[in-house]
């Protein structure tokens, strides 16, 4: 059973970004499924690497779109993105140090981050991007 289910309530109205967000939901669900099966140890390292790469690419994409459209909230979004990336990298460091307790924390962090960040911050730029031709 999926921990997070993508729905229109998370849509920012920009198809390319919604698809990326949906991919992040899938990663969280992948970790959740592995935990439910007792296989979290075997997938955590690969998932963390994939997550770091994906978030960096996703944030870069969002920020380029904001630059192109001259979105006024770009600086604040960059700061949030930097903070979130730093938190994910801290999970990576903890995992490398052998901290076996990170999976539940990581799952909670990712769930909260995705739902709250999308609903609070990302939805703010959706209509702006649509008005400026980003789909």
- Kindly report the CATH number assigned to the domain that includes residue 30: 1.20.120.50
pLDDT in tens, the chain (135 residues): 788 999 999 999 999 999 999 998 998 898 888 888 887 777 888 888 888 898 899 999 999 999 999 999 999 999 999 998 899 889 889 988 888 778 888 888 888 988 888 888 888 898 898 899 888
Q: Is residue 101 situated within a structural domain? A: yes
List the domain range (segments joined by +) for residue 57.
Answer: 14-129
> What are the CB-based long-range contacts (under 8 Å, 24+) for 17-23?
17/58, 17/61, 17/62, 17/65, 17/122, 17/126, 17/129, 20/54, 20/58, 20/61, 21/58, 21/114, 21/118, 21/122, 23/54
Q: Is residue 1 situated within a structural domain? A: no
How many domains does the chain contain in total?
1
Q: Is residue 113 situated within a structural domain? A: yes
Q: What is the pTM of this model?
A: 0.86
Q: Is residue 4 situated within a structural domain? A: no
Q: Is residue 6 situated within a structural domain? A: no
């Amino acid at each position: 059973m999926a921990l997070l289910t993508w729905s229109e309530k998370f849509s920012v109205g920009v198809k390319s970004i919604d698809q990326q967000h949906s991919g992040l939901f899938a990663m969280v669900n992948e970790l959740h499924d592995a935990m439910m099966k007792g296989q979290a140890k075997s997938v955590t390292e690969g998932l963390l690497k994939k997550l770091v790469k994906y978030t960096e690419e996703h944030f870069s994409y969002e920020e380029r779109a904001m630059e192109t459209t001259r979105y006024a909230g770009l600086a604040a979004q960059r700061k949030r993105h930097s903070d979130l990336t730093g938190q994910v990298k801290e999970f990576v460091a903890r995992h490398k140090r052998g901290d076996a307790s990170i999976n539940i924390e990581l799952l909670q962090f990712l769930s909260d981050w995705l739902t709250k960040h999308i609903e609070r911050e990302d939805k703010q730029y959706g209509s702006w991007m649509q008005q400026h031709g980003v789909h």
